[in-house]
Amino acid sequence: MTIRLIIASITAAIAFTATASAQTKPNIIFIHADDLGYGDLSCYGQRKFKTPNIDRLAAEGMRFTQYYAGSTVCAPSRSALITGQHTGHTRIRGNARHPLLPEDVTVAEVLKSTPSGGYKTALIGKWGLGEAETTGIPNRQGFDYFYGYLNQRHAHNYYPTFLWRNEEQVKLRNVVPDEDKEGAGNSTNRVDYSHDLMAEESLKFVERHSDGPFFLYLAFTIPHANNEAKNRGMEVPDLGEFANKDWPDQEKAKAAMITRMDRDIGRLMASLKKLGIDGNTIVFFTSDNGTHREGGADPDFFDSNGPLRGIKRDLYEGGIRAPMIARWPKRIKAGAKSDQVWAHWDFLPTAAEIAGVKPPANVDGISMLNALLGKKQRNHEFLYWEFHERGFAQAARMGNWKAVRKAPDSPLELYDLKNDLGEQNNVAIKHPEVVRKIEDYLKTARTESELWPVKKGE
């Protein structure tokens, strides 16, 4: 055999090995609901309507009871998820329109860097971390493909005049007078429902990349309200099975939205099976923060925060604790329930370990792969949140202790979550040693940010 043939054979063998290795890497799908409460799924206690497909995810995978979103509102929660840094470190700490910068490393960039074959990456849905022509757009933050909303206010409208495909606007048939003005939102011609379009795009992406490996960040906007649309706060094409319920119209619409999302998650799971990649795909499902009181919806009607205190924009459990389900056939035990404490910023290192690549050194997260596989898991000593609307507030969790500070100069409230899940009894005065330890942690938990300054006396 000639030297040239030997080299060609070795090159072919290396290429085959790399391809085979890439194909054995699991596909990763992260489904992100928007403003879905801890109690809005029937597998988490919802009794007035059913979510059978999400329930099936839980029955075939692991349901977590102590999982936390990155923040109590949209953009910082998503920034924590994408960068693996909590809101004391991640660049986007509030809903103002600041973009991620080139030096911010995202989970999509990490997954694309796997040495034996990078992941194909897609964001379908709502972004909120960079406007058009900035460094923060998805295609400049590691995503090969993007379809959906860049701007979170634009995402309030389920019948917009356009969505983005990569860096180009895709015109829709809807008509929205003065859509480019602040507060616009009443669609006068409602044809193309954005959620349906995004659900279809997710099916197409999975089919295109069924040879894997791929990472799909599916950031649905359901059940967020359209805060700008008069009398259409909870927008949905039809009320379905809830049309004749003796319920307020907005509650009928909210239930219809959630069951519509549930339907489309069922369609996605069916597609994975049809394509023969179900067994090699890990699917996560959660929400970006707690339930809301917007668009005419009443969180008490469906008991959307379950046993938890607070809603969206609160740092109590109801504002930040979220449902979390993970399904991975033959790897994650079916029907498992876990009280593992973890949060959005743990997803990046978890996904990195699943893909066989190291995460950046500056992440706050811990890989939770062992917890997913039912093995002994390293735990956080602290979890941390800060919130920059209504002044500046902080929260931290240490073991079963939860601390909340409503303003920079306010004393810490302290709750024992093991015995007081609803955070009804502030026991700070009874446990000064715990308060001191958390106070010491809070002094070093965050870095200062020019974008998110903290003013004493707020």
Residue 177's pLDDT is what?
A: 80
> What are the backbone angles phi and psi of residue 320, rounded to the nearest 5°?
-130, -20
CB 37 within 8 A of CB 311: yes
Under DSSP, the state recorded for 316 is: S
- Per-residue pLDDT reduced to its tens digit, 220-254: 999 999 987 766 689 999 999 999 999 999 999 99
Q: For the chain, give the number of residues.
A: 458
Tell me: pLDDT of 1 over 60: no
Percent of the chain with pLDDT over 90: 87
Cα of 437 vs its chain's centroid, Å: 30
Half-sphere exposure of 179 (CA within 13 A, CB side): 19
Give the torsion sign (CA, 45, 46, 48, 49). negative
Please choose, from the candidates 133, 86, 17, the residue with its C-alpha nearest in 3D space to the C-alpha of residue 394.
86
Please choose, from the candidates 443, 440, 389, 426, the residue with its C-alpha nearest in 3D space to the C-alpha of residue 73.
389
Superfamily of the domain at 21-374? Alkaline Phosphatase, subunit A (3.40.720.10)
- Per-residue pLDDT reduced to its tens digit, 371-382: 999 999 999 999
CB 321 within 8 A of CB 428: no
Residue 112's pLDDT is what?
A: 95
Please choose, from the candidates 334, 328, 324, the residue with its C-alpha nearest in 3D space to the C-alpha of residue 282.
328
H-type alpha helices, 275-362: 317-320, 347-355
Tell me: pLDDT of 5 over 60: no
- Per-residue pLDDT reduced to its tens digit, 30-63: 999 999 999 999 999 999 999 999 999 999 999 9
| Rounded Cα–Cα distance for residues 22 and 114 (Å) | 9
Domain residue ranges of the chain, discontinuous segments joined by +: 21-374, 390-442
> How far is residue 18 from each of residues 29, 93, 210, 272, measured CA to CA in Å?
22, 39, 17, 23
pLDDT band at 117 (very low <50, low <70, confident <90, very high): confident
Please choose, from the candidates 106, 113, 138, 101, the residue with its C-alpha nearest in 3D space to the C-alpha of residue 123.
138
Other CB atoms within a 10 A radius of the CB of residue 278 amount to 18
Tell me: pLDDT of 185 over 90: no
Output the CATH code of domain 390-442.
3.30.1120.10
Residue 300's pLDDT is what?
A: 98
Tell me: pLDDT of 13 over 90: no
- Per-residue pLDDT reduced to its tens digit, 391-410: 999 999 999 999 999 999 99
pLDDT band at 184 (very low <50, low <70, confident <90, very high): low
Residue 457's pLDDT is what?
A: 58
Residue 114's pLDDT is what?
A: 79
Tell me: pLDDT of 137 over 90: yes
Other CB atoms within a 10 A radius of the CB of residue 13 amount to 10
Residue 316's pLDDT is what?
A: 98
Tell me: pLDDT of 14 over 80: no
pLDDT band at 15 (very low <50, low <70, confident <90, very high): very low
Which H/E stretch holds residue 30?
strand 27-33
